[in-house]
Amino acid sequence: MKRNLLKAIGISFLIFVVLSWIIPVGSYYGGKFTNDGIDAVGLFDLIGVPVQTMLTFALYAAVFACIGGLYGVISKTGTLELWTDKIAKRFTGKEKRFIIFTIIFFVVLSSLTGLVLPLFVLVPLFAVVFTKLNYDKVTAFASTIGSLLVGSVCSTYGFNITGYTKNLLSLDMNSEIWAKVILLVLLTALLIFFVLKYATKKEIKVVKETKEAKEEKTAKVVEEEPKKKATKVASKVTTSKKKATKKKTQNMAVAKDVKKVNAVKTVSIVPLVVIVILMMIITLVGMYNWYYSFGIELFNDIHATVMGVKIGDFPIFEHLLSGISQFGYWGNTEFIMMMVIASALIAFVYRLKFGQYVESFIAGMKKMMPTALYAALASIILSVLYPAVSQGAGTMVTTMFNSTLGNDFNVFTTGLTALYGSFFYNDLYYLLYGMQAFMSNFDANALNIAGLLIQSVYALGMLIFPTSVVLIAGLSYFDVSYKKWIKYIWKFALIALIIVFATCLILTVI
């Protein structure tokens, strides 16, 4: 399965390499396109680019590795088993309800926040429950990772989706909000129908014993019977000796064993649930940019006030809190810090020794390492385009945009451009940045529709393209092949694309 993902990423990169030898680099300024000639990817780049990608996007790898570390600590306490057992028990016999709940939960959170990467931290929890409800890996994947990506397709107020569209295209967060809500309802219902229709449970194989096996088993029992009797007699003698010394030893060993068993049985999952919920709330609030989304300056003002506190002439908090950004401007670094702090609190509350904490965190990271590496490699094409875009230089993708985007808004050409553009730019910010110059002549109403179209089509691209970080990471985590996923999801993706195009066409008529 893992090799299949590497093959998918490798083929995507090779497509980009071949195109770099055919399509010239271009730039677009002031309504004028300039052809800057061929800038091909060379032979040594075939080795250098993957290495550079791992270095450039190492933070993605670190995020997924720390998610593994967090769950390594949680598993060590034994609370993960208890928590998932309770959830699975509650939905036993009502498994379809759990699928519906999971899809709505992830779609809505993704649509409202746009913070797909932080929400991935909840996926392993739900994955364990799906396993205990005996569902196959593809159903679990579609209900969790698939839902996160569909939530991006119908993003309402997600900053990393709608927020980028608002700021780069000078729109409003509420622009076409009713169309977004309609898409949210339609695509959520479609996904629920689709997953329930194709949901399958694992087959429990019952191996029947052959006649020879039964005879061999019977003979073995007969042969071991005398030994069991002898052991039983010896056990009685030992027990008699222990009873004779009971008053002197007070049976301390047995008392210790009973205490351990009781501790395991009576361990509470409440502290774990509280810590995880608090971690998620603080992370989502910290990573959502409130100022650029809604003009809310509360967190900016609080940060300025706290940083202005001085002891004498020394700004104490400016130095103490220098390693963390203010709320609303958090990134993956702060997200990693929150996971480390949460795992440390869990270890402290459940009385894990420091050595046990470190050992379990590292063990969890090791298990998640393949997923972390694939998540970084998914951005291999962006790693080539990123330097040019950040420096304002031209790219071959700009040349492609010039050939498909006209001066006037057209649903089909704009949607097609956004679709293939999302293959190259797996971050919506860079896709919008590359397209915005071509849309400068669109009127205000058309720009609103174009923004909705681009962000929705981009997110659909992240549902199917092997350059999608979350998709590749999810496939690796669930051990689902890319080929199997495409066979499963292509019908949904096609219908969803038609719904998005139809919605935008209706908006142009109204």
pLDDT (tens digit, 9 = 90+) per residue, 272-327? 999 999 999 999 999 999 999 999 998 888 888 888 888 877 888 777 877 778 88
37 with 125, same domain: the answer is: yes
276 with 193, same domain: the answer is: no
Residue 4, judged by CB atoms within 10 A of its CB (0-12, 13-18, 19+), counts as middle
Query: In sequence order, which residues have a C-beta less than 8 Å from that of residue 127 and are 6 or more positions away?
Result: 140, 144, 477, 478
Q: Is residue 234 part of a domain?
A: no
Q: Is residue 235 part of a domain?
A: no
Query: In sequence order, which residues have a C-beta less than 8 Å from that of residue 34 and are 6 or more positions away?
Result: 26, 27, 28, 394
Q: Whose CA is closest to 339, among 32, 38, 65?
A: 65
468 with 437, same domain: the answer is: yes
149 with 18, same domain: the answer is: yes
Question: Looking at residues 148-169, what average pLDDT do you find?
Answer: 94
331 with 427, same domain: the answer is: no
pLDDT at 307: 83
47 with 158, same domain: the answer is: yes
pLDDT at 97: 96
393 with 354, same domain: the answer is: no
pLDDT at 251: 34
Q: From residue 382, give the alpha-carbon distance in Å to each of 163, 257, 285, 325, 424.
A: 21, 57, 28, 26, 6
Whether 73 contacts 346, CB under 8 Å:
yes
Q: Whose CA is closest to 165, among 435, 412, 390, 396?
A: 435
Considering only 204-218, 246-260, 344-358, 440-454, which range has the smallest mean pLDDT? 246-260
pLDDT of residue 257 exceeding 80: no
424 with 276, same domain: the answer is: no
pLDDT of residue 350 exceeding 60: yes
Q: 293 is in which domain, residue-wise?
A: 270-364
Q: For 451-466, write each residue's pLDDT tens digit.
A: 999 999 999 999 999 9
d(CA 460, CA 456) in angstroms, rounded, equals: 6
Q: For 62-116, write each residue's pLDDT tens digit.
A: 999 999 999 999 999 999 999 999 999 999 999 999 999 999 999 999 999 999 9
Residue 356, judged by CB atoms within 10 A of its CB (0-12, 13-18, 19+), counts as middle
DSSP E strand stretches across 150-203: none
> Which of 339, 364, 389 is the last residue in one of the domains?
364
Question: Looking at residues 489-498, what average pLDDT do you find?
Answer: 97
153 with 35, same domain: the answer is: yes
Mean pLDDT, the chain, integer = 86
> Which of 364, 390, 410 is the last residue in one of the domains?
364
Q: Is residue 254 part of a domain?
A: no
pLDDT at 422: 96
Query: In sequence order, which residues have a C-beta less than 8 Å from that of residue 270 and are 6 or more positions away?
Result: none
The number of folded domains in the chain is 2
503 with 391, same domain: the answer is: yes
Q: For 146-157, write each residue's pLDDT tens digit.
A: 999 999 999 999
46 with 147, same domain: the answer is: yes
Question: Looking at residues 133-153, what average pLDDT do you find?
Answer: 96
Question: Looking at residues 345-363, what average pLDDT do you find?
Answer: 96
Whether 291 contacts 251, CB under 8 Å:
no
pLDDT of residue 215 exceeding 60: no
Q: For 360-397, write each residue's pLDDT tens digit.
A: 999 999 999 999 999 999 999 999 998 888 887 889 99
327 with 399, same domain: the answer is: no
pLDDT at 266: 67
Instruction: Place 202 in a pLDDT band, splitting at 50, 70 and 90.
Output: low
* Other residues' Cβ atoms within 10 Å of the Cβ of residue 213: 11
First-to-final CA distance of the chain:
47
Q: Is residue 343 part of a domain?
A: yes
